[in-house]
Structure 1
Amino acid sequence: MASSSFPLHLILLAVNLLLLPSVVTPSTGRYSAIFSFGDSLADTGNFVFFSGGKDPANRPPYGETYFHRPNGRYSDGRIILDFIAQTTGLPLVRPYPAGRGSEGFVFGANFAVAGACALNNAFYEAEGFNVTWEDYSLGTQLKWFEQLLSSPSVLAPNDALSKSLFIVGEMGANDYKSVLVGDNPMESARALVAPVARAIGAAIDALVRTGAKTVLVSGVFPLGCVPMFLTSFRTRNAEAYDPETGCLKWLNELSQYHNLLLQRELRRLGRAHPQSTIIYADIYGAMMALYTSPSQFGMTSTLKACCGGEGPYNYNSSVICGDPTSTLCSHPWSYVSWDGMHLTEAAYQIVAHGMVEGPNPQPSLYANASSIDLKNE
């Protein structure tokens, strides 16, 4: 088993996250930079850049709570990456494709793009899918990272990678979304889980071989609690729903299966790279705490979107958040879901804490790391 004794910098990170609801307190500067990879849960402006500013995240009311303007984040304010950066005493992480310029990336870069899959387009084409989306996969994001490394003038000194925190955010949801259609959506999505886990593992392996010493890896969130999926797979069969939360059980089981295989992959990587610290961040557990005990966190609405169209979950693919006819709740801080697909700043703040420390009685990150045992089966 891994040691139950944890480095001081991780303890300080957890303590600072506990203070997030009232104040952000910089840590001792253990990390010199943050490099982030992922999808829309971690995107800070890259997809808006690629879309030429035409994406809904570039329109009000996105960004209204903290930034007071749209800023490319799929929320009303800050996201998990922002809270981690502020807690570690670093500036907000600059988006790479959208932020290249004279300022450079001394404090890291964010390669995450909304809609990104773990698997590249070549995989889906080989499987016979009609690929209509751009390839912003983990492989593409790693190529951007390699391009950044080839331009040392924009990076910190040579030891930047060993002193940096690498975050591989939630990946896989877009892969599963792409196949959750037809007569057997569960079987189609479940068949993708193993390849997705391997793709995430390959990306982590590449980062560690490049010089990364600390990698924080997120699991998949509870897909069955997302208003978009609740709307798409709405059924009169009461047995399909968790009576405690109202979430779709079969979709949450898919998330749990993904997280199980991902943790196995992390164990393998831990054995292969004992010189690096690979940490599993339990976003599933952190979010389920919101759905099972919302009042504990000041939440009153768990499954309805704060911003969206008509419907039982206030999500409508024809009237998305930012549309002139969409509706907006008056108290985003009491909602878990912002636009039916992403979280409010308030929820992201709680989840950021939960991913690192773990909300009682959910397993903390530290207990999780011990039980997973990254070096041994």
Structure 2
Amino acid sequence: MSISVISAQNFGLPYLSAYLDSLGTNFTHGANFATAASTITLPPSIIPGGGFSPFYLNIQYFQFNEFIPRTQFIRRQGGIFANLMPKEKYFAEALYTFDIGQNDLGAGFFNNKTVEQVKASIPDIINTFSTNLTSIYNLGARSFWIHNTGPIGCLPYILANFLSAERDAFGCAKPYNEVAQYFNYKLKEATVQLRKDLPLAAITYVDIYSVKYSLFSNPKKYGFEKPLVACCGYGGEYNFGSVLCGGKVTVNGTDIFVGSCETPSTRVNWDGIHYTEAANKVVFDQISSGAFSDPPLPLNKACYRNA
């Protein structure tokens, strides 16, 4: 379960439907353009041959650009699908949420780039993000809720693949988290500039890194255990290996289904990359208050621009 799903629950709204859902989907409460393994910049390899989504941020923007006139065309046509489309005024009134960037860092790390090389690529990644957000603004969007990226160095897929990386006091890979922190520094810089460039926008920067890192630094506070170990996976110290969650592994001639741990509600990490529903709930409860936001507005006030 993602934070956007928990957000919908919190506000008493139905879950957002994917843009690529078939005809008949109700988009009156919004649409989700995100895909698994998506990046801001063009990824080095694409599923199924590679590990990343073909729907990187530029493509998501083009899809949104097409979504607006298509929905209004359907509304004008009338009929049974008209009321499933958003009204034109909703596009200016909507809150546009972004949680993207971690996969750009991961793509660099797993494309044989050094930590220093990945760090050097971040300004270009952030520039691409700013360009896309500006393009969405030019289509009429006015309210933006932007997550920074989380502590990638605490995730099992990094820990299991980069065993020699220096660990911090909580067992996370320190240099990889430092790259994430630099990404967040440049992203916050970009939001400051975007506020100047887009005077009608309400832009909220959300420090999701700090909240997520607290799950690893103080898991007992939230009722969690084994924060660095994947709940659904197989192999090694971090329960993450060549066979992923939902796959099969042969042990002593017997096929074993790679399934969930017994108590997912007590775990931080689900499959080596994503967080569990329980962890996402903790994160949402903290960030929705505005305590980790700049400006410090709760989520239900994120559409209000400071005068």
TM-score, normalised by the number of residues in structure 2: 0.84
Structure-2 residue corresponding to 1:319: 243
Tell me the secondary structure at the aligned position of residue 228 of structure 2: strand
Tell me the secondary structure at the aligned position of residue 329 of structure 1: coil
Mapped to 2, the partners of 1:207 and 1:331 lie a distance apart of 41
Is the CA contact (8 Å cut-off) linking 1:307 and 1:314 kept in structure 2? yes
Structure-1 residue corresponding to 2:25: 103
Structure-2 residue corresponding to 1:68: none
Shift of 1:132: 7.8
Structure-1 residue corresponding to 2:79: none
Shift of 1:228: 0.4
User: Is the counterpart of residue 160 in structure 1 residue 90 in structure 2?
Assistant: yes
Is the CA contact (8 Å cut-off) linking 1:357 and 1:366 kept in structure 2? no
Structure-2 residue corresponding to 1:221: 150
Structure-2 residue corresponding to 1:148: 67
Q: Which runs of 5+ in 1 are unaligned?
A: 1-77
TM-score, normalised by the number of residues in structure 1: 0.69
Residue identity opposite 2:7 in structure 1: I
Shift of 1:304: 0.2
Which of the residues 354, 361, 369 maps onto 2:286? Answer: 354
Which of the residues 320, 329, 340 maps onto 2:272? Answer: 340
Residue identity opposite 2:179 in structure 1: L
Cα distance change on mapping 1:86 and 1:292 into 2, 3 Å: same
User: Is the counterpart of residue 249 in structure 1 residue 174 in structure 2?
Assistant: yes
Shift of 1:88: 2.1
1:288-299 correspondence to structure 2 within 5 Å: 288-299=213-224
Is the CA contact (8 Å cut-off) linking 1:93 and 1:107 kept in structure 2? yes
Mapped to 2, the partners of 1:312 and 1:364 lie a distance apart of 32
Shift of 1:131: 7.9
Is the CA contact (8 Å cut-off) linking 1:283 and 1:354 kept in structure 2? no
After superposition, what is the alpha-carbon deviation per residue over 1:75-103, rounded to whole angstroms, capped at 9, x for unaligned? xxx21010111212221000111x13123
1:1-377 correspondence to structure 2 within 5 Å: 78-97=1-20, 99-120=21-42, 135-151=54-70, 152=72, 153=75, 155-169=85-99, 171-181=100-110, 185-235=114-164, 240-243=166-169, 245-316=170-241, 318-324=242-248, 325=256, 326-357=258-289, 364-365=292-293
Between the two structures, name the one with larger relative contact order (CA 8 Å, sep ≥ 6). 1
Is the CA contact (8 Å cut-off) linking 1:280 and 1:368 kept in structure 2? no
Cα distance change on mapping 1:367 and 1:300 into 2, 3 Å: farther
Shift of 1:111: 0.6
Tell me the C-alpha RMSD between the 2 structures. Answer: 2.4
Structure-1 residue corresponding to 2:78: none
Is the CA contact (8 Å cut-off) linking 2:149 and 2:209 kept in structure 1? yes
Structure-1 residue corresponding to 2:253: none
Is the CA contact (8 Å cut-off) linking 2:230 and 2:272 kept in structure 1? yes
Is the CA contact (8 Å cut-off) linking 2:149 and 2:208 kept in structure 1? yes
Tell me the secondary structure at the aligned position of residue 346 of structure 1: helix
Shift of 1:183: 6.8
Q: Which runs of 5+ in 2 are unaligned?
A: 76-83, 249-255, 298-304
Shift of 1:320: 0.6
Residue identity opposite 1:365 in structure 2: S
Shift of 1:178: 1.9
Mapped to 1, the partners of 2:51 and 2:233 lie a distance apart of 25
Is the CA contact (8 Å cut-off) linking 1:281 and 1:356 kept in structure 2? no
Residue identity opposite 2:86 in structure 1: A
Tell me the secondary structure at the aligned position of residue 118 of structure 1: coil
Mapped to 2, the partners of 1:273 and 1:366 lie a distance apart of 16
Tell me the secondary structure at the aligned position of residue 229 of structure 2: strand
Mapped to 2, the partners of 1:367 and 1:241 lie a distance apart of 33
Mapped to 1, the partners of 2:173 and 2:59 lie a distance apart of 32
After superposition, what is the alpha-carbon deviation per residue over 1:115-148, rounded to whole angstroms, capped at 9, x for unaligned? 2110125xx69xxxx9885531101001111111
Q: Percent identity?
A: 27
